[in-house]
Homo-oligomer: A and B are copies of this chain.
Amino acid sequence: MRASFDLSLYLVLDPVQCGGHDAALTVARAALEGGVTLVQLRAPEWHKRAWFELSRALLPITRAHGVPFVINDHVDVALAVGADGVHIGQRDLPADAARRLLGPDALIGLSVSNLAETEDAARLAGIVDYLGAGPVYATPTKTDASAPCGIDGLATIVAAAHLPTVAIGGIQAHNAADVMRAKPAGLAVVSAICKAANPRDAAAALRATIAHAQI
């Protein structure tokens, strides 16, 4: 379990959306300058060698900002590069297996998409640090995602969760304030930053919207 972390603005970095390895580094740097509080690497189309190389290049950047860097799904990549943790889904390695491999200090997040999965996750207190709830909206980013839960579904999950919960799925500048009404600990975005013309400004604007809602 990680002593402290901030889910406010959680960047899911998709290097394909960014335009490749180098472009992903540029986006990550800009997004961190704009106020991103956590970075996850997710590259479902990529082989692990490319995950490994990009992760090794990202880690000094996130470290310089004091922001945790986690790997989607691949515990082995996280271990190989010394990342801060992983984010796992319901069909990835079980959370307790990931915790055993990563040790007590790693940051581990778990995706939930409905109330049943959220209630199951209550058993994982002490193993999992936070939940990722969604998709809130339908999204083309993740083709194997569950049915969207919507704002009301998100609010139900957040209220039932025993862990800090970040909302994910189709979150953009125009709907960020709406999603915050469900009282998640923060928002996770993919294309809203990875595909932004100016990732630094996009991150800063989202961060301001989230800060306003957190008052």
Total copies of this chain within the assembly: 2
Q: Are B48 and A73 in contact, with the CB atoms below 8 A?
A: yes
**Size category, A interface:** 20 to 34
Q: Are B80 and A93 in contact, with the CB atoms below 8 A?
A: yes
- The reply on A168 being an interface residue by CB < 8 A is no
Rounded to whole Å, the gap between the CB of A110 and the closest CB of chain B is 12
In the complex, residue of chain B having the shortest beta-carbon distance to the beta carbon of A90: B49
B47, B50, B79, B92: the one contacting A49 at CB < 8 Å is: B92
Per-residue 0/1 for A55-96: is the Cβ within 8 Å of any B Cβ (1 yes, 0 no)? 000000000000000000111110110000000011111100
Q: Are B76 and A100 in contact, with the CB atoms below 8 A?
A: no
List, in ascending order, chain B residues with CB within 8 A of A100's CB.
80
Q: Are A101 and B73 in contact, with the CB atoms below 8 A?
A: no
- The reply on A97 being an interface residue by CB < 8 A is yes
Most chain B CB neighbours (cut-off 10 Å) among A48, A50, A89, A90: A48
Rounded to whole Å, the gap between the CB of A56 and the closest CB of chain B is 10
Which chain A residues (13-65) contact chain B, with CB distance < 8 Å?
Answer: 47-50, 52
List, in ascending order, chain B residues with CB within 8 A of A47's CB.
89, 91-92
Q: Are A48 and B93 in contact, with the CB atoms below 8 A?
A: yes
Q: Are B94 and A52 in contact, with the CB atoms below 8 A?
A: yes
Residues in chain A within 8 A of chain B (CB atoms): 47-50, 52, 73-77, 79-80, 89-94, 97-98, 100-101
**Besides A75-B76, A76-B76, 16 other A-B contacts (C-beta < 8 A):** A48-B73, A48-B91, A49-B92, A49-B93, A50-B91, A52-B94, A52-B97, A74-B74, A75-B80, A76-B93, A76-B101, A77-B93, A79-B101, A80-B94, A80-B98, A80-B101
The 17 sampled A-B contact pairs (Cβ below 8 Å) are A47-B89, A48-B73, A48-B91, A48-B92, A49-B93, A49-B94, A52-B93, A52-B94, A74-B74, A75-B76, A76-B76, A76-B79, A76-B93, A80-B94, A80-B97, A80-B98, A80-B101
